[in-house]
């Protein structure tokens, strides 16, 4: 049977999702769990495929992986999670056709970037974001990784303010290396008044204009989900979702306390 999983992870501790020698990655932990449970012998023999890699420090809510197994009764979230660290958890699974390719069959991917909302002209950022929609050459918004083409199509770029936080959602067919984080930097520069829409138009014409821009920090980026044309009958695991919620509630409390501690240190009160 071929099984697909939806994975979530907190990427802070990992050097990205893709397995690499001598460093901690999401796939390193996942492969170890799948082998320990004898769900797969190796990623290669199981025809393991991931929907797409995420960079070091980037998080995920809806990463999708697929693999073949002769023990489908064990390839369910609550069992797999028993062998995973608490920063990685599966929360849904599905039986998929043997030819299902989690990467090539994806029709769109949804990323969300969360940043401070203070000091930005959101209306200017929204106007500039409209220029990104459609098919463009995003070479100026990427870090070269040997891609044959840097042309990509964006379906949606939306920006909303929630308190003192700004959330930027980007949906496209696929993404270049570092593309979303550089788009965020560009929009932030326009929101600060450092650049304008004419500059954004130039950035989308790399054949006549070239400029390197910094990456927005990795900690603000999350892969929210991957969409497929074919219908996948996902079975969500309520136990795994509750367990993840409980664990992350403790992390949220810790970070809130640490934020207050840092404020105290800065204010010297």
How far does the chain reach from its first CA to its final CA, in angstroms? 61
CA distance 82 to 119: 44
CB crowding 244-254: b at 16 or more within 10 Å, else e: beeeeeeeeee
E strand or H helix that includes residue 37: none
Q: Is 55 assigned a catalytic role?
A: yes
CB–CB of 156/170 below 8 Å? Answer: yes
Catalytic residue among 55, 101, 121, 137: 55
Q: 44-49, long-range: CB within 8 Å, 24+ apart, which pairs?
A: 47/2, 49/101, 49/102, 49/103
CA distance 126 to 162: 15
The answer to whether 169 touches 158, Cβ cutoff 8 Å, is: yes
* Phi, psi (deg, nearest 5) at residue 49: -140, 135
DSSP states along 172-224: ES---TTHHHHHHHHHHHHHTTSS-HHHHHHHT-TTT-----PPPPGGGEEEE
- d(CA 45, CA 112) in angstroms, rounded, equals 34
Instruction: State the catalytic residues.
Output: 55
């Amino acid at each position: 049977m071929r099984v697909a999983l939806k994975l979530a992870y907190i990427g802070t501790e990992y050097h990205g999702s893709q397995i690499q020698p001598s460093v901690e990655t999401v796939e390193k932990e996942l492969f170890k769990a799948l082998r320990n449970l004898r769900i797969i012998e190796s990623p290669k023999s199981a025809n393991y495929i991931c929907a797409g890699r995420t960079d070091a420090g980037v998080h995920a809510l809806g990463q999708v992986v697929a693999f073949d197994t002769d023990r489908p009764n064990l390839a369910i979230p609550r069992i797999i999670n028993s062998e995973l660290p608490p920063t990685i958890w599966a929360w849904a699974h599905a039986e998929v056709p043997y030819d299902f390719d989690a990467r090539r069959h994806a029709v769109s991917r949804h990323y969300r970037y969360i940043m401070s909302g203070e000091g930005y002209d959101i209306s200017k950022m929204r106007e500039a974001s409209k220029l990104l929609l459609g098919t463009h050459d995003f070479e100026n918004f990427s870090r070269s990784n040997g891609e044959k083409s840097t042309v990509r199509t964006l379906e949606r770029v939306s920006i909303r303010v929630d308190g003192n936080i700004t959330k930027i959602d980007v949906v496209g067919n696929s993404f270049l290396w570092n593309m979303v984080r550089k788009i965020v930097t560009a929009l932030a520069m326009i929101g600060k008044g450092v650049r304008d829409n004419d500059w954004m138009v130039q950035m989308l014409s790399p054949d006549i204009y070239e400029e390197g821009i910094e990456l927005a920090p990795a900690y603000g980026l999350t892969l929210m989900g991957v969409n497929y044309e074919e219908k996948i009958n996902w079975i969500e695991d309520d136990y795994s979702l509750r367990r993840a919620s409980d664990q992350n509630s403790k992390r949220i409390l810790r970070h809130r306390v640490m934020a207050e501690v840092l404020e105290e240190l800065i204010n010297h009160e």
